Amino acid sequence: MQQDVIRVQSADFDVAHEYQRLAGQPQIGAVVMFVGRVRDLSANADLHALHLEHYPAMTERALQQLVQAARARWQLDAVTIIHRVGRLAPAEQIVLVLTASPHRDTAYEANRYLMDYLKTAAPFWKKEITRHGEAWVEARASDEQARARWET
Amino acid sequence: MQQDVIRVQSADFDVAHEYQRLAGQPQIGAVVMFVGRVRDLSANADLHALHLEHYPAMTERALQQLVQAARARWQLDAVTIIHRVGRLAPAEQIVLVLTASPHRDTAYEANRYLMDYLKTAAPFWKKEITRHGEAWVEARASDEQARARWET
Amino acid sequence: MLTILYFARLRDVLGCASETLATPPATVRDLIALLVARGGVWQAELGGARVFRVAINQEMAQLDDAIPAGAEVAIFPPVTGG
Amino acid sequence: MLTILYFARLRDVLGCASETLATPPATVRDLIALLVARGGVWQAELGGARVFRVAINQEMAQLDDAIPAGAEVAIFPPVTGG
């Protein structure tokens, strides 16, 4: 039984609720949950908000393909990807990736794989709204490098 | 400000509660949570329970040292380690490791480091109580190998 | 007919969210050449100086991919979600 | 005086959770030699055939580590938590 949850939504998500659906399943020995959040590292709290845009017709398809690629590499009991769009304030949750497996190495690696690909292959874009104005976030070479690790 | 939670307890823990203490902290861009659970992969549900024994005088000290070693390697905003002891039924939670950081690579790596060392350096022992009797779990070479990766 | 969608910074800079072409080019490369020929911001964004991505019918595509009839082609900056 | 604690499978096999020695050996190696000299399960478990771990005053220790006065020494199988 494949247990995948893939959602794109403006509403916040509840990590506990998403984790709870794995309750009582004794084949699951390891669960890894990654939560990405709106970060403001500036000393002056410069960031008012992020605006997350996406390409609706493509997004869920891209995420589905990503999960299938992970399932082809690893034995996974459950996968959850939830990605938010719209306006998000500092410290708000942006993305949840949950992986469940009999083995911890699998749960860790599949989770990181999903995040590395999500960062480079899923059609989301961030715009920063700061006290100085608005600016689209530039893609980072380190994210491309992180993905490239999985392609060797 | 260091935010570490280290607990050894027989009671269950609530992942949501442990995650919730990070709310509203805009320097945290990435949170990784690992949950290890009592697994029964046998087709016949052979496992009645695990019994988790530990060496109380040593356990929290070993976990504190482990967290300090992780903090010496990575920039971490918060670390949580909760490990249960006593009798645990299949699908029950055994251990939670939470790592929070500005960057996702750091949160992933520190989390895995903590689990790899916890599996080999913290004084816990598992006994399986099955329909066929009781048996102490043997240490696995793969856990030693996982730890050795961090020592090169 | 061909529908073209633009997203994020590209949409803002080009001042265009979507358009249609009555006679679609054969490949992505041909389409980009046609857009670059408009000059100005089109040339600046798609003419080689900046990186962009293309999807055909919601699948990531390459420059030499053929554009099927009635396709939805999306052009956008490298993604930055997650 | 020296307190020795045994845990998990070792405690069960040795049939002993803790004991005290009035005249403690100088090193972990000396202590293990003393225990192995008891023969039987002591020799079988600590005499080289099986892997075990030692902690002195709640810190992981090696065979050549000195045992301080009044120490709590723990002997146990490789750990299996997590």
**Of A66, A91, A57, which Cα lies nearest the Cα of A4?**
A66
CB nearest C80 (choices: A58, A115, A139): A139
Q: How far is CA A14 from CA A52, A119, B17, C24, D79, in A?
A: 19, 21, 12, 45, 35
pLDDT band, residue A44 (cuts 50/70/90):
confident
Pair A111, A34: CB distance under 8 Å: yes
Task: Determine contact: A14 vs chain B, CB below 8 A.
Answer: yes
Q: How far is CA B133 from CA A106, B88, B93, in A?
A: 30, 16, 22
Segments forming the whole domain that contains residue D24: 2-76
CA B71 to chain centre: 16
At A142 the pLDDT is 93
Q: Which residues from chain B sit within 8 angstroms of residue D61, using beta carbons?
A: none
For all residues of chain B together, what is the average pLDDT?
Answer: 95
Distance from CA of D34 to the nearest CA of B (A): 23
At D68 the pLDDT is 97
DSSP state of A137: P
Please state the domain extents for chain B.
5-151
Mean pLDDT, rounded, for C7-34:
97
What is the reported pTM?
Answer: 0.95
Predicted confidence (pLDDT) at residue A131 exceeds the cutoff of 80:
yes
> Distance between CA A147 and CA D32 in Å, rounded?
51
Q: What is the pLDDT of residues B4-13, one digit of tens each?
A: 999 999 999 9
> Distance between CA B37 and CA B20 in Å, rounded?
21
Predicted confidence (pLDDT) at residue A43 exceeds the cutoff of 90:
no
At A152 the pLDDT is 78
Judged by CB atoms within 8 Å, which residues 39-58 of A form the interface with B?
A: 39-41, 45, 47
At D42 the pLDDT is 98
Residues of chain A with pLDDT > 90: what percent? 91
Supply C76's token pair: 């956008």
Q: What is the pLDDT of residues B43-67, one digit of tens each?
A: 777 899 999 999 999 999 999 999 9
Interface contact B94-D82, CB threshold 8 A: yes
At A51 the pLDDT is 97
Residue with tokens 């990654």: A34
Find the residue in D nearest to B117 (Cα).
D82
For all residues of chain A together, what is the average pLDDT?
Answer: 95
> Distance between CA B92 and CA A22 in Å, rounded?
11
Predicted confidence (pLDDT) at residue A64 exceeds the cutoff of 60:
yes
Q: Fold for A5-151, please state it.
A: Aldehyde Oxidoreductase; domain 3 (3.90.1170)
Count of structural domains within chain D: 1
Query: Which residue type does A70 have?
Result: A
Q: Is D82 part of a structural domain of the chain?
A: no
Give, rounded to a whole angstrom, the gap between the first and last alpha carbons of chain D: 34
Predicted confidence (pLDDT) at residue A1 exceeds the cutoff of 70:
no
List, edge to edge, every strand of the sheet that includes A78-84. Answer: A3-9, A78-84, A93-101, A30-37, B30-37, B93-101, B78-84, B3-9
Q: What is the pLDDT of residues C23-49, one digit of tens each?
A: 989 999 999 999 999 999 999 999 988
Q: What is the CATH number of the domain that holds D60?
A: 3.10.20.30
Distance from CA of B145 to the nearest CA of D (A): 14
Pair A140, A67: CB distance under 8 Å: no
Q: Cβ-count burial of C7 within 10 angstroms (0-12 exposed, 13-18 middle, 19+ buried)?
A: buried
The set of residues, in sequence order, having a beta carbon less than 8 Å from that of D48 and lying 6+ positions away, is none
Interface contact A91-B31, CB threshold 8 A: no
Query: Which residue type does B150 have?
Result: W
Mean pLDDT, rounded, for A96-101:
98
Q: What is the pLDDT of residues B90-142, one digit of tens each?
A: 999 999 999 999 999 999 999 999 999 999 999 999 999 998 899 999 999 99
Q: Is D15 part of a structural domain of the chain?
A: yes
Q: Which residues from chain A sit within 8 angstroms of residue C82, using beta carbons?
A: 36, 83, 94-95, 115, 118-119, 122, 124
ipTM comes to 0.94
pLDDT band, residue A40 (cuts 50/70/90):
confident
Distance from CA of A20 to the nearest CA of B (A): 10
At A3 the pLDDT is 79
Per-residue pLDDT tens digits of chain D, which is 82 residues long: 999 999 999 999 999 999 999 998 999 999 999 999 999 999 999 998 899 999 999 999 999 999 999 999 999 999 999 9
Q: How many residues does chain B have?
A: 152
Query: Which residue type does D54 have?
Result: V
> Distance between CA A58 and CA C59 in Å, rounded?
7
At B2 the pLDDT is 62
Distance from CA of B58 to the nearest CA of A (A): 25
CB nearest B58 (choices: D8, D51, D55): D55
At A45 the pLDDT is 76
> Distance between CA C71 and CA A29 in Å, rounded?
45
Pair B19, B80: CB distance under 8 Å: no
Predicted confidence (pLDDT) at residue A2 exceeds the cutoff of 70:
no
Task: Determine contact: A120 vs chain C, CB below 8 A.
Answer: yes
At C6 the pLDDT is 98
